[in-house]
């Protein structure tokens, strides 16, 4: 799998993501500067976490109009695989590549803590190394992760099985009203969503920060291992 990470001004989790990708592929991913207008030959484009352009407008709104985004839209239209984490998820929604939006956390505070995610389907390149219903632990670190979309969109996401992950209790129970298990207040406890072709995935938490027992576990690793298996060529 050839992976590339896009670096916007203010991206700050590109190194974490590079470590996670290197852990499973054995080679360093390409780093792609936001001013580029073409992508190299890639199997996976990753939009990493951070505060692109300071997030001084809405989170991700400026990055969605960066020069590289035209190439990324083309990559998506051609059926390319894209993973957006945290600010990367926000950028994908602002770019219209994923539905919905991310509001301020319900408590109006930045939240940096572990959360648990339930895997909603395992027949996608992002989730294939889990079993549907599996629960895994992952760090989250964001101020604006409160997922929202209009009722029709939410219904469509549910009907089409386009929710990849939901915030859950460690035992797998999902309770959107429970601030302990759904800390940012996301609608229907949605933590990650998929594009219609299941090739674009956006999620708020950071599985890339839990791929090493030394850092507290490897709970995030199946996502990257699954991508390597799915995108091998």
Partner 1 sequence: MSSGSAGQKPVDQGLAQEFGLTADEYGNVLSIMGRTPTLTELGIFSVMWSEHCSYKSSRVWLKTLPTTAPWVIHGPGENAGVVDIGQGLAAIFKMESHNHPSFIEPYQGAATGVGGILRDVFTMGARPVANLNALRFGSPDNPQTRRIVDGVVRGVGGYGNCVGVPTVGGEINFHPAYDGNPLVNAMTVGVARQDRIFLSAAAGVGNPVIYVGSKTGRDGIHGATMSSSEFDEDALAKRPTVQVGDPFVEKLLIEACLELMATDAIVAIQDMGAAGLTSSSVEMAGKGGVGIDLDLDAVPQRERGMTAYEMMLSESQERMLIVIRPDRTEVARAIFDKWELDFAVIGHLTDTGHIVVRHQGQVEADIPLDPLAEQAPIYRRPTAPSPAPAPLGPITDPIGIEQALIRLIGCPDLASRAWVYNQYDSTVGGQTVKRPGAADAAIVKIEDTSIGLALTTDCTPRYCRADARMGGAQAVAEAWRNIVATGARPLAVTDNLNFGSPEKPEVMGQFVSAIEGMGEACRALDFPVVSGNVSLYNETRAPDGSSVSILPTPAIGGLGVLDDVTAAIGLSMPADCTLVLVGATAGELGQSLWLREVHGREDGPPPTLDLAAERRNGDFVRARILAGDILACHDVADGGLLVTLAEMVMAGDVGCVLLAPQSGMRPEAFWFGEDQSRYVVAVRDVDAFTLAATQAGVETRVLGHSGGSGLTLPSGATISTARLNAVNSAFFPALMDQ
Residues that bind partner 1 (CB under 8 A): 9-10, 12-13, 15-16, 19-20, 49-51, 53-56, 107, 109-113, 139, 141, 143, 206, 208-209, 212, 214-216
Q: Please spell the DSSP secondary structure of 92-120, one letter per residue.
A: HHHTTSSSSEEEPPTTSS-EEEEEEEEE-
User: Which helix (H) or strand (E) segment is 157 a member of?
Assistant: helix 151-159
> Choosing from 14, 94, 120, 208, which is the catalytic residue?
208
* Catalytic site residue from 14, 81, 86, 142: 86
CB 93 within 8 A of CB 60: yes
To which H or E segment does residue 135 belong? strand 135-142
Minimum distance of partner 1 from residue 208's CB (angstroms): 7
**Residue 100: CB atoms within 10 Å:** 20
Instruction: State which residue, 13 or 81, has the beta carbon closest to partner 1.
Output: 13
208 flagged as catalytic = yes
Q: Which is nearer to partner 1, 37 or 113 (CB)?
A: 113
Q: Which is nearer to partner 1, 19 or 103 (CB)?
A: 19
Nearest approach in angstroms of CB 198 to partner 1 is: 27
Is 142 a known active-site residue? no
CA 217 to chain CA centroid, nearest Å: 19
Please identify, using beta-carbon distances, which residue of 23 and 195 lies nearer to partner 1.
23
CB nearer to partner 1: give 109 or 173: 109
Q: How far is the CB of 30 from partner 1 (least distance, A)?
A: 18
Catalytic residue, from 81, 116, 142, 206: name it. 206
How is the beta sheet containing 44-47 ordered, strand by strand? 30-33, 3-7, 44-47, 81-85, 200-203, 190-194, 163-168, 111-119, 135-142
Shortest gap between Cβ of 132 and partner 1 (angstroms)?
A: 27
The question of whether 77 is a catalytic residue gets the answer: no
CB of 80 to partner 1, least distance (A): 25
Q: What is the distance between the alpha carbons of residues 115 and 190, in angstroms, rounded to a whole number?
A: 13
C-alpha span between 32 and 151 (Å, rounded): 36
Q: Give me the active site residues, please.
A: 86, 206, 208
């Amino acid at each position: 799998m050839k992976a590339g990470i896009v670096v916007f001004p203010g991206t700050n989790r590109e190194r974490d993501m590079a470590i996670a990708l290197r852990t499973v592929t054995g080679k360093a991913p390409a780093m792609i500067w936001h001013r580029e207008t073409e992508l190299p030959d890639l199997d996976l484009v990753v939009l990493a976490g951070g505060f692109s352009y300071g997030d001084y407008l809405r989170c991700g709104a400026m990055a969605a109009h960066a020069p590289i985004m035209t190439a990324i839209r083309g990559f998506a239209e051609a059926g390319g695989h894209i993973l957006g984490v945290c600010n990367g998820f926000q950028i994908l929604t602002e770019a219209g590549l994923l539905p919905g939006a991310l509001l301020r956390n319900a408590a109006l505070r930045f939240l940096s803590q572990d959360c648990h995610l339930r895997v909603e389907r395992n027949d996608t390149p992002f989730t294939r190394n889990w079993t549907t219903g599996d629960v895994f632990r992952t760090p989250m670190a964001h101020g604006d992760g409160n997922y929202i979309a209009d009722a029709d969109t939410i219904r469509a996401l549910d009907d089409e099985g386009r929710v990849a992950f939901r915030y859950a209790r460690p035992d797998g129970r999902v309770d959107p009203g429970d601030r302990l298990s759904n800390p940012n207040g996301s609608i229907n406890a949605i933590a990650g969503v998929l594009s219609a072709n299941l090739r674009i995935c956006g999620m708020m938490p950071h599985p890339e920060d839990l791929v090493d027992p030394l850092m507290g576990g490897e709970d995030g690793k199946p996502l990257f291992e699954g991508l390597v298996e799915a995108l091998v060529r």
